[in-house]
Amino acid sequence: MKKTDVINSDISRVIAQMGHFDTLSIGDAGMPVPKETEKIDLAVSKGSPAFLDVLDNVLTELAVQRVYLAEEIKEQNPAQLEELKQRFPTEIVFIPHAEMKQNLKTCHAFIRTGEMTPYSNIILESGVTF
């Protein structure tokens, strides 16, 4: 039995397989996921689980050196943006939402939450622990 907080076997496996500069995405229920990207679907109902709850869980195991957010979050979901800024002392890179959707093709996986607020999507770039 695992001792850490990430007990979802698919999420744990993906994090364990990641290397430096690899990416993992977490997002809202409406984000379109490319067919070639593994989707770990955690959504149970509207709002459950919440995007920030899943993100906080992943951050207990994944070393992150950079994050990517949609430029549109600044105007469409400023409260969520403020929550994210509190979690990341690392560099935040803002990209157009259309580019973020394209970048999902190179992510190890996309973790779908039940989040129902706009632009609650993030790409996490893995760092190293040494």
77-100 residue pLDDT tens: 999 999 999 999 878 999 999 999
Residue 107 maps to a domain: yes
Residue 59 maps to a domain: yes
Residue 3 maps to a domain: no
Over 90: is that where the pLDDT of 110 sits?
A: yes
Domain of residue 66 covers 23-126
C-alpha triplet 19, 21, 23: angle, nearest 5°: 85
* 11-40 mean pLDDT: 97
Closest CA to 36 of 105, 113, 112, 130: 105
Residue 45 maps to a domain: yes
Catalytic residue among 2, 7, 9, 20: 20
Please report the DSSP string for 62-105 in residue order: --EEEEEEETTHHHH-HHHHHHHHHH--SEEEEE-HHHHHHHGG
Residue 18 maps to a domain: no
97 is in an annotated binding site: yes
121 is in an annotated binding site: yes
- List of residues 6+ apart from 90 with CB closer than 8 A: 64, 65, 66, 67, 127
126 is in an annotated binding site: no
Q: How many domains does the chain have?
A: 1
Q: Yes or no: say if 122 and 68 are a contact pair by the CB < 8 Å rule.
A: yes
Residue 15 maps to a domain: no
What's the CATH number where 82 sits? 3.40.1650.10
User: Is 20 part of the annotated catalytic residue set?
Assistant: yes
